[in-house]
Amino acid sequence: MLDDIRLAIFDHSGVLSDDRPPVYEANMVLLQRRGTNRITFEDWLRASKASAADLVESFGHRIDRASVSSEYAEVYSDIVVGGLAPTMYVDVPEVLDQLKENSIRLGIVSSHPTQNLITELGGYGIRDLFDDISGADGDPVPKNKRLVQMCGGFSFRPDQAVFVEDTIYGLQHGKDAGVHTIGVTTGYHNRERLEAEKPYAVLDSLKEILDYIA
């Protein structure tokens, strides 16, 4: 059990929301527009990066990162409106409600564009449960710095916060920020990759977090 946790910060994609299908399609559109052929969903998961801009760069394209981030937000929105929508993991409302009952503040630090975050959270009916939301717009501030900023905004020390992530990149940023980290296997990276980053715990469902911080 983690002691004196005052703030629980969540990544969005792969932790609260299973948006892998529309994110995959949006990433494929960005690559195809630049002359790179589609890859399979499984290959994309293995190649996935911390952001769409990182993925495009990893295929050898020279880009303006802010421009690609804006392009991604537009493409992703079009794909969702077209019918390929993300879904909320079923245990999310119960977990958030329990944490709020225990007077733990809730935040999100995500590589997802802010407006997309707000729209999805509103559609899930959980927007008002969060005390702070930090999305990625333009060429965003790295997650480690946003985690420290969020802790400071509540006047909490980093060691009074836990960051829940589904990728190795997020876990690395959490460690850099000095917050506790917990991995979940419901999203982009598997247990083996997450455990290699040595977080406090790796969980197979979000609900298990209540055994550690509630």
Assign residue 104 the CATH number of its domain: 3.40.50.1000
Q: Are 108 and 157 in the same domain?
A: yes
77 in the same domain as 35: yes
Q: Does 53 share its domain with 120?
A: no
Mark whether 68 and 104 lie in a shared domain.
no
What does the pLDDT average to over 182-194? 96
Among residues 29, 59, 81, which one ends one of the domains?
A: 81
Structural domain that includes position 41:
20-81
Q: What are phi and psi of 187, to 5 degrees?
A: -115, -120
| Distance in angstroms (rounded) separating the CA atoms of residues 113 and 110 | 8
> Within a domain: residue 62?
yes
The residue out of 81, 99, 115 marking a domain boundary is 81
Sign of CA dihedral 96, 185, 69, 90: negative
pTM of the model: 0.90
Q: What is the DSSP string of 148-168?
A: HHHHHHTT--GGGEEEEESSH
What interhelical angle do 168-177 and 143-153 show, nearest 10? 50
Mean pLDDT of 46-68: 93
Of 62, 81, 100, the domain-final residue: 81
Asked whether residue 38 falls in the same domain as residue 11, the answer is no
Same domain for 120 and 70: no
Tens of pLDDT, residues 119-176? 999 999 999 999 999 998 877 789 999 999 999 999 999 999 999 999 999 999 999 9
Residues 77 and 95 in one domain: no
74: tokens are: 């537009």
**Neighbouring C-alpha atoms within 13 Å toward the C-beta of 26:** 30
What's the mean per-residue pLDDT of the chain? Answer: 95
Q: What is the pLDDT of residues 59-86, one digit of tens each?
A: 999 999 999 999 999 999 999 999 999 9
Sort residue 138 into left (φ over 0), alpha (ψ -120 to 50) or beta: left
- Is position 179 within any domain? yes
- C-alpha to C-alpha distance for 7 and 156, rounded to whole angstroms: 8
pLDDT of residue 50: 85
Token code pair at residue 130: 């969060």
How many domains does the structure of the chain reveal? 2
2: in domain: no
Tell me, yes or no, whether 39 and 118 share the same domain: no
Give the relative orientation of helices 20-33 and 65-81 as an angle to the nearest 10 degrees. 130
